[in-house]
Structure 1
Amino acid sequence: MVITNQLQERLQEGFAKESLNAFNKILEKSIKSPRATYGRSGALLKLAELQSSNTLLQQGIQVLEVLLSNPDTPDALLLKSGLILADKQRFRGWTNRALKSLTFLNLRFPNNVDVVNDLGITNLILGRNDDAKKLFKQVLKLDADNGFAMAHLGFIIKVSDNNPAKAIPYLKSGIESGDKSAVDARFYFHLGDAYQRIGDTKKAKEVYDDGAAKKLFLSRDQRSLYNVERLTAKPWWDPEELPYQNAIETLQNNWEMIRDEVLEYFGRSGTDFINEAENLLDRGMWRQMTLYQRGERNKKGCLNVLKTCALLNNLQDATNCRRGQVKFSIMKPGSHVWPHCGPTNCRLRAHLGLVIPDGVKIRVGNETRHWKEGEFLIFDDSFEHEVWHQGNENRIVLIVDFWHPELTEHEKSALSPI
């Protein structure tokens, strides 16, 4: 099978090279031929894909940019090539150039919903959520049943505007529209979460069950989006099950030093503790200070707790998870964290209890447990989890993300950071 695939790729590459040569010859005689220019770009982009070449990708993009600037390019070809151009520019990481290309197309084709939707997505990628919202609303004026626009508009209203009740009809209609692009784990994820936040747990579970049945989620309770499917999945893990005993025992043996250092910093300043940024907090106060993220040391955070970071620096198992973090978490009394799932099943999250008052608890899956000072609680945060603080003083834990123990070294190095 591998040999067959390799031969097929060689055949495709040979055809792409022949096509490129043929289109180049046409362009030698007719330098501005729109169709030959389009063909040349297609051959370059195919070669770029087969060879994983950014150089060829950039050449293909440049040819498409020339095509868009050619006044003789027919409208149908201009529209088709412009949408391809924007897609390839985004893929290359040139999102602002994609925005420029799509703005040009939108001026030429103001009522084309594909262009306006694509422009909305590009604004969303750039964090220009208000502009994206206006564009998706524009699409719905042109095509009231456009599932792509409905789903994305609902997503913005839910995440950016923090208005789950208003987001629900858009997300629901988008998913039910039949548009394949709207049958996406992100939209099921946020529709279910929106139902949870308005108190309709039954409908939330129905959405999650539907998503799991469509293989968008690993299960109803495990709704992470970036996964390796073969990994053992269970909400709670015992420290003895992990091959990271040196890191676990070293941190537990030094928990009082870690506690005293973070308490001293928090009492003295604490300015680098920032509010939780993913809109997971229902009520109260929850702040975090990052020491390691994506396998990289956070110099600013570590300057505040030098002894803790010196300890961590010798514990590669605790700091090399590129799909996780090491951070302090402080939660004030009266806080509640919404039920939520982490982004990936490739890590296990360990909480080292530092200051644990009565009245604090965490549910993962269907089981609720309590922290203890100087001990780790270890769980798979890709499963739904929820936190309550009904005590009288701050709860403080050190969070350490470890790679899932069943990942190979090759997988760890190949997986994209989160």
Structure 2
Amino acid sequence: MASGISNSTGDNRAAALAQTAQQLMRERRLDEAAAAWQSVLALVPDHPQALLHLGQHHLFRRQRDQALAFLQRAEAADPRNPVVPLNIAFVHRAAGEADKEMAALTRSLALDPYFFPALLAKAMLLERGGERRRAAQVFKDVLTIAPPREQLTPELSQALDHARKAVDDNAAELDAHLSQALEPVRARHDGNAFERFDECRDIMLGRAKAHTHQPTLLLVPRLPAIPFYDNADFPWLAKLEAATETIREELIALAREDGQGFAPYVDHPEGSPLNQWAPLNRSMKWNASFLWKDGERIEAHCHRCPKTAALLDGTPMAEIPGYAPTAFFSVLQPRTEIPPHTGVTNARLIVHLPLIVPGNCRFRVGNVTREWRQGEAWVFDDTIEHAAYNDSDEIRIILIFDIWNPLLSAAEREMICGLLSATRRYYGELPAASF
């Protein structure tokens, strides 16, 4: 009984002394803190924190042998703490013992593969040893898991800058190496389009982001994520392009006769999260006049634009009751940007026909950026991140409408109609504005 009471009292005293030591460390009174940790060890010889901090203290004092002795005891007392072998690695670094440093870092990362300081130390060790390419690969992992800059010390922030430069330099060297290696292959296939392959290489080198489907409502699996489709897949596009001037004339007449028919495209109700849409919400900077909206034909506008309406009827517009088709004249004011966003479903694709384009008007889908040119239509997948830019001093107007994804079978289209319509009924005929 007396022995138990004595042990409990010793533990309490050790805990109190440990708190004192930690406070002294926060106050940067390091020698006094070390003395307090020594007092802790006198009561609890295998106290993990005391052993670790005393090892760090001796390392700071460049007393490598004493530091290593304390840290080895700490590792035995607390074998699951990755901080301990990291500090052992620092001792071996100070002694110039690269193999032992790597062994200690390996133990640390075995305990926590995402331990940022150990991963950074490993990359730096590889670099010091002349293994720049291996170091760059580890530096890339360091950048992936690094905490936010504001949480880092100036020294660690500087180390991250070095890591970024090492990764970029290696990517440039690898790019040059790959260009040289692939040049004979490219030459053998002269005349072939390598746009997709070149994007693949840029993604591998970290120069481009891998863009995939990110629909906000419905993802149809097993469909390819193609930013811009080949116009040859849509023979009816030629007829649409040939009618550009006719459609343009009807647009101008509509705007002259019914300017009130144009309204902000982004119109979120009060209390809705706006995120990137805040600058455009209820703004005429991006406005539209609809011929079809959420599956409903806007008769007044179609009556004023009969030739445009007839041309749309001749396209494979998506037909989903309560959701599609949607067709509209899209007006983007000068010096206006539509921020990156994604559409609702890859069951459909989107068609653009430029009608009034002043120049300096760009459209990005994934990693592909194109300039709008009057009368030149394209088809794209809007579930891939996309953004629009009118960098000119004049308005840009295009015709936009949705069509079925041609890779869907007739049966799949019917099932998708049923799925979305039934979902809408389940929620009480909610409006389809989000579509």
Report the TM-score when normalising by structure 2.
0.42
Which protein has the larger Cα radius of gyration, Structure 1 or Structure 2? 2
Report the TM-score when normalising by structure 1.
0.44
